[in-house]
Chain A
């Protein structure tokens, strides 16, 4: 960026902050300033999330926090798939619906308690979603997006038309959680673990392969690695997170129905990722905790809230596709100044 000021040209230069440079490598623990610089943002995030249910008095809004946490799992999955593996998943509702129905069916038909159905629905849902998405995985381009877009819409219509799994009424009488505090805090702990786990995962060797699949899949193929396998692993992880959220949702509402395939679950993760900052896994999480309360507040306007997200989504994609957290991280780590060219 150059501009004329006076008689010489200037350009903007961005440099890492001194303290950021001092925290690279082993010097990260050399003094309290460095440790604080690294730990403080993460500490604020964790403490904030854990204190949130205690600070909100009303029972209704406490449940909204749980729902926001479920959306956060979906958004983490979407961000992971879109910015670390290169697969755009337009159908978060698919994962939620599969997980939700699996948990409800396990609970009703086999009588298993939530402590068992949730893990089983996570793994089972992930397996089912990966198998159903398998035809689209070897292909490049837009096919994955198309298939994930189609699955929730088609499954909704199929369940309604064939009247299986309870049809339009859904599966009623699913067991709830034994303790209110477990219901409240388990999902927040799961979200925190998922966030930091995914962060760790993308910095491991397998994360490097994922990024390779996104940037240049022929290079990965030339290294003798099977791209379909790694895409399948990534989809397994993301759909596992989504199915976990869906199973949790079934047990919170004690009901499971075709509205778990609703568009809300597809749009809000995408909007949260675009607004919060794609590529940083924490951006979508914060985006969800911002968007879901707004969604609940707008619920009285009916489906206008989906219009609201879609328009904001489009505005952000067109004009500010960077996102809030990417901007914030840049400001935290770097400073910029004008220099003479």
Chain B
């Protein structure tokens, strides 16, 4: 029972982390290695807004998300647009950007265990005899809201449909008049907002540390590869698989192994089924 509940919580956490990465990859074919950096920087942004500008918690969150969206758009518009299409340079550019942000935060003094975000609602509730704090239930709630919002957005909103079109076939979308650069800007902005949203939901459960950036990056990459790079449904399913695997490992083997699980998941997926569960790249195109 413990495993079930904590498994669901872990899975939704992973899904929240991964959906930003898979969105950007699915639409622009651009692996955003700065994803972990955007996660951590949102946390510090909210903390600064609360403690340095003394704003309300809710207002800080909304303001931070807006700023993150603008940051994501700026990253595409000023950095990535110049290296678009050159795969090597894209990878190096996002990697260098993520590294610069994370190490800057580490140098800027944001070290140690002293930076935390307050939880939304204090207290805990008893589910089936196991105390679960409200924050974790809120994580599940936010996860469900984000997933349904993404589904509704990409099926019924004009911009969402354009994004989906870009993800399916870039050239056909351009022939229909959908501007590839503008869609990429929107995709990066949404990816950053989703990274920020996952930070806001998950950081109150612990401290804000720079190492979390690297962990988030590894975990979201693991989830996206297992689910298939670029597929949202795959990411969510893979999040559940890896989430439950991690919790089972922690419960029955030792608690240090959860990173090993992620690594092994990637290796096994690449050996057995490289396109992942729902990957859009067909095996023939991919396996050389």
A161 x B256 contact (CB < 8 A): yes
Asked whether B1 is an interface residue with its Cβ less than 8 Å from the other chain, the reply is: no
B260 x A158 contact (CB < 8 A): yes
Query: Hey, which bits of chain A sit against chain B, CB under 8 A?
Result: 82, 86, 88, 90, 135-136, 138-143, 145-147, 149-151, 153-154, 157-158, 161-162, 217-218, 221, 227-228, 263, 267, 270-271, 274, 301-304, 306-307, 309-311, 313-314, 317-319, 321
Q: What are the residues of chain B within 8 A of A311 when measuring CB–CB?
A: 96, 100
Q: What are the residues of chain A within 8 A of B217 when measuring CB–CB?
A: 153
Q: A306-B99, A313-B96 are in contact. Are A90 and B270 (CB under 8 A)?
A: no
B96 x A82 contact (CB < 8 A): no
Closest CB of chain A to B229's CB: distance in Å?
8
A306 x B92 contact (CB < 8 A): no
B107 x A307 contact (CB < 8 A): yes
Closest CB of chain B to A134's CB: distance in Å?
8
Give the CA-CA distance A145 to B88 in the complex, in Å.
9
Asked whether B205 is an interface residue with its Cβ less than 8 Å from the other chain, the reply is: no
Asked whether B69 is an interface residue with its Cβ less than 8 Å from the other chain, the reply is: no
Closest CB of chain B to A145's CB: distance in Å?
5
Asked whether B89 is an interface residue with its Cβ less than 8 Å from the other chain, the reply is: yes
Q: What are the residues of chain B within 8 A of A303 when measuring CB–CB?
A: 103, 106-107
Q: A142-B87, A150-B266 are in contact. Are A317 and B93 (CB under 8 A)?
A: yes
B288 x A217 contact (CB < 8 A): yes
- Which B251-288 residues have C-beta < 8 A from chain A? 256-257, 259-260, 262-263, 266-267, 270-271, 274, 281, 285-288
Q: A158-B259, A314-B79 are in contact. Are A304 and B93 (CB under 8 A)?
A: no
Asked whether B45 is an interface residue with its Cβ less than 8 Å from the other chain, the reply is: no
Q: A135-B267, A139-B270, A149-B95 are in contact. Are A310 and B103 (CB under 8 A)?
A: yes
B31 x A270 contact (CB < 8 A): no
Q: What are the residues of chain A within 8 A of B28 when measuring CB–CB?
A: none
A267 x B262 contact (CB < 8 A): no
Closest CB of chain B to A338's CB: distance in Å?
27
Give the CA-CA distance A314 to B44 in the complex, in Å.
23
Q: A142-B87, A153-B214, A318-B79 are in contact. Are A306 and B271 (CB under 8 A)?
A: no
Contact of A304 among B79, B103, B260, B267 (CB under 8 A): B103
Residue of B nearest to A263 (CB): B99
A317 x B31 contact (CB < 8 A): no
Q: A154-B262, A267-B99 are in contact. Are A313 and B287 (CB under 8 A)?
A: no
Closest CB of chain B to A91's CB: distance in Å?
10
B97 x A310 contact (CB < 8 A): yes
Closest CB of chain A to B131's CB: distance in Å?
27
B263 x A307 contact (CB < 8 A): no
Closest CB of chain B to A194's CB: distance in Å?
22
A153 x B96 contact (CB < 8 A): no
> 9 closest A-B pairs (Cβ-Cβ)?
A161-B256, A310-B100, A135-B270, A306-B103, A310-B96, A313-B96, A303-B103, A304-B107, A310-B99
Give the CA-CA distance A55 to B42 in the complex, in Å.
49
Q: A307-B104, A314-B96, A317-B92 are in contact. Are A140 and B218 (CB under 8 A)?
A: no
Q: A142-B31, A158-B260, A317-B96 are in contact. Are A227 and B288 (CB under 8 A)?
A: yes
Give the CA-CA distance A124 to B203 in the complex, in Å.
41
A304 x B274 contact (CB < 8 A): no
Kindly name the residue among B229, B263, B281 whose own CB sees the greatest number of chain A CB atoms within 10 A.
B263
B270 x A143 contact (CB < 8 A): yes
B96 x A267 contact (CB < 8 A): yes
Asked whether B146 is an interface residue with its Cβ less than 8 Å from the other chain, the reply is: no
Asked whether B65 is an interface residue with its Cβ less than 8 Å from the other chain, the reply is: no
Residue of A nearest to B99 (CB): A310
A139 x B288 contact (CB < 8 A): yes
Sample 9 A-B pairs with CB under 8 A, ordered by A number.
Answer: A139-B288, A141-B87, A158-B260, A161-B257, A267-B96, A309-B96, A317-B83, A317-B92, A317-B96
Q: What are the residues of chain A within 8 A of B103 when measuring CB–CB?
A: 263, 303-304, 306-307, 310
Query: Hey, which bits of chain B sit against chain A, CB under 8 A?
Result: 31, 33, 79, 82-83, 87-89, 91-93, 95-97, 99-100, 103-104, 106-107, 214-215, 217-218, 221-222, 225, 229, 256-257, 259-260, 262-263, 266-267, 270-271, 274, 281, 285-288
A318 x B93 contact (CB < 8 A): yes
Q: A306-B103, A317-B83 are in contact. Are A136 and B270 (CB under 8 A)?
A: yes
Residue of B nearest to A314 (CB): B96
Closest CB of chain A to B142's CB: distance in Å?
27
B263 x A154 contact (CB < 8 A): yes
B91 x A142 contact (CB < 8 A): yes
B91 x A154 contact (CB < 8 A): no
Q: What are the residues of chain A within 8 A of B33 when measuring CB–CB?
A: 90, 149
Give the CA-CA distance A309 to B266 in the complex, in Å.
29
Q: A150-B221, A217-B288, A314-B96 are in contact. Are A88 and B88 (CB under 8 A)?
A: yes
Q: What are the residues of chain B within 8 A of A145 when measuring CB–CB?
A: 31, 91
Q: What are the residues of chain B within 8 A of A318 when measuring CB–CB?
A: 79, 82-83, 93
A221 x B100 contact (CB < 8 A): no
A147 x B266 contact (CB < 8 A): yes
Give the CA-CA distance A313 to B92 in the complex, in Å.
8
Give the CA-CA distance A162 to B270 in the complex, in Å.
25
Closest CB of chain B to A233's CB: distance in Å?
15
